Amino acid sequence: MQRVFVKLAVLVAASAGLVVLPVRADSRAAPKGPDEDGTKPALTRIAGEGMMNSHAFGFLTELSDDIGGRVTGTPAERKAEEWGAAKMRSIGLENVHTEKYMIWRGWTRGTAEGEILAPVRHKLHVDAMGWTGSTPAGGAEGEVVTVNLFDIDKEIKSASRLKGKVALVVMRGRPSKSGIMLFAQFGDLLKAAGAAGAIAVIGGQGGGKSSGMNLTHTGILGFNADFAIPVLSMTAEDQGQLERFIERGITPRLHFNVQNTFTNGPVETANVVGEIRGREHPEEIFVVGGHLDSWDLAQGTTDNGSGTATTLGAADAIVRSGQRPRRTIRFVLFTGEEQGLDGSFAYVKQHQAELANHLGNLILDFGQGPVKGFQLGGRDDLVPVFQPFADALSSLHPMQLDDHVESGTDTLPFSMAGLPGINMNQEPSDYNLTHHTAADALEAQKPDVLAQNATLMALAAYWIADRPERFASPWPAERTARMLRAQHEYEELKAFNLWPYGDLGAEEKKDNPQN
């Protein structure tokens, strides 16, 4: 959900480069890959099923066409849960069930209409950001004033000037702080604008501007954050015209009619779970998944129908291969990802008692492109362990490895638990244009790429669960906190009240940035 963080961070300041760690020579035996650890025959059968008998694109077609957009907590998302559980049963997974939890508040999109009244008159292409409010019935009109995101403290202080106006977010000059902090503080600006009586705010996630031809980009504006003021994503073409008028000293006048609905209180949702039980250590668990929920401007194919279909396709390939791993592979379709990783945070909380028996998780949530690497979620110790397996995949695609923590998807709660929250890194392809937009439909996913991604997920899951030695155990909190600080996650987690470690790991921060 927070891909915008990455974009903003690049825009705002040079962010810390990823460290690809060298394999250290030490006294331990060299880690073994599939050729030496006995897993190769099973992996070969799984690869055959995955590549030559793939059902992943069929799963994605059903989810996209028959269910479509599925915002967490809505009837469509409930239908997706039932569909996901039914698919898991038909694939032949064991222990299929849903695990319910609540999100703080539900939201349903209504209509969003916009028009420029002066100096010219035409329709504006807008959509509401998720969990934002409505204009009065029939709409409201007012003049446009710009607010500079890069001078956010001053803008919040002078928010009273926004009364009766439409606030257009711009980025001018040099930013006063990091992209993450701007994203976090954007919520304060929205609250101040709402309290001042502004009609609406034009700005996407973190205040960002839309990209792509005639596309709006919806999304949430914080972790579990809602705002009473309407916040609108506008196409780059329409927004560009407004900006050009303002630069020429012309003040545009706009009319908006935006109607959305919040629930009065929390709403129920559920993660969907199914397993392939381990043959030797069924109590030891490796979690594999993607998120089932989506936004609602289109079918939610690439975000994250692709991850859902990859997960189900991986499960299908393993079951059909007839192979049973030493340890349990637990397939989880998370919901609530788009609202703040709510499903994966709920999972970690609900399974606290058995987290010590977990080996980590593996997530695909970067859309439709080919997998090109694995990010091991903070666990630099596992890079050399994983390397021989990654090398074994090189005939499918060269694989890059690093220990980067991906905080924008359901890997984060696992990394925060000291486990490897492994992100399958993908070619960016057209994902920046399809996710959260009206272009997120089945046309965006190539079936052969999906089949290959599902196969890679199946192979990685099976190898991790089946290799003779246990792949990973959770790190203690102190070591995890130190790692998260070294990976520059502290600032973001603290800003969103998600940092649970207090001062743990702080003293190491400056001395040794790598670990």
Q: Give the nearer residue to Zn ion in terms of CB position, either 1 or 385.
A: 1
**Any residues with CB less than 8 A from the CB of 247 and at least 6 apart, and which?**
none
| Closer residue to Zn ion (CB): 257 or 304 | 304
**Residue written as tokens 């349903």?**
108
CB of 337 to Zn ion, least distance (A): 6
Site string for Zn ion, 239-278 (x = CB under 5 A): ----------------------------------------
Residue 410 CB, shortest distance to Zn ion, in Å, is 9
Tokens 């638990």, residue located: 417
Instruction: Identify any residues that bridge with 147 across adjacent strands, giving them in sequence order.
Output: 169
Residue 260: what are its φ and ψ, rounded to 5°?
-125, 165
Q: Which is nearer to Zn ion, 210 or 409 (CB)?
A: 409
List 54, 210, 304, 453, residue binding Zn ion (CB under 5 A): 304
Q: From the CB of residue 503, how many other CB atoms can be counted at a distance below 10 Å?
A: 7
49 binds Zn ion (CB under 5 A): no
The amino acid that residue 443 corresponds to is: E
CB of 159 to Zn ion, least distance (A): 32
Interatomic CA distance for residues 223 and 216, integer angstroms: 21
Q: Which is nearer to Zn ion, 304 or 335 (CB)?
A: 304
CB-wise, 444 or 504, nearer to Zn ion? 444
Tell me if 311 contacts Zn ion by CB under 5 A. no
Q: Which is nearer to Zn ion, 21 or 371 (CB)?
A: 371
Rounded-to-integer distance, Cα 336 and Cα 355, Å = 21
Nearer to Zn ion, 239 or 411 (CB): 411
Q: Which of 303, 342, 403, 489 binds Zn ion (CB under 5 A)?
A: 303
Task: Choose one: 17-25, 256-264, 301-309, 477-485; the region binding Zn ion (CB under 5 A).
Answer: 301-309
State the nearest-atom distance from the C-beta of 507 to Zn ion, in Å. 35
297 within 8 A of 436, measured Cβ to Cβ? yes
Phi/psi at 351 (5° precision): -110, 20
Q: Based on CB atoms, which residue is closest to Zn ion, 364 or 465?
A: 364
State in angstroms the smallest separation of the CB of 456 from Zn ion.
Answer: 18
Select from 147-155, 205-213, 270-278, 361-369 the region that touches Zn ion (CB under 5 A).
361-369
Instruction: Give the nearest distance from C-beta 182 to Zn ion in angstroms.
Output: 21
Nearer to Zn ion, 303 or 440 (CB): 303
| 277-285, 359-367, 398-406, 421-429 -> range binding Zn ion (CB under 5 A) | 359-367
Q: Could you tell me if 510 and 451 are in contact, meaning their C-beta atoms sit under 8 angstroms apart?
A: no
Does 365 bind Zn ion (CB under 5 A)? Our answer is yes
Min dist. Cβ of residue 402 to Zn ion (A) = 20
Long-range contacts of 203-206 (CB under 8 A, 24+ apart): 203/149, 203/167, 203/168, 203/169, 203/231, 203/232, 203/233, 204/4, 204/129, 204/233, 205/2, 205/4, 205/129, 205/436, 206/4, 206/5, 206/8, 206/149, 206/179, 206/182
| Residue 481 backbone class (left: φ over 0; alpha: ψ -120 to 50; beta: rest) | alpha
Element (H, E) at 242: helix 236-247
The DSSP symbol for 23 reads P
User: Which residues of this chain interact with Zn ion, rule CB under 5 A?
Assistant: 303-304, 365
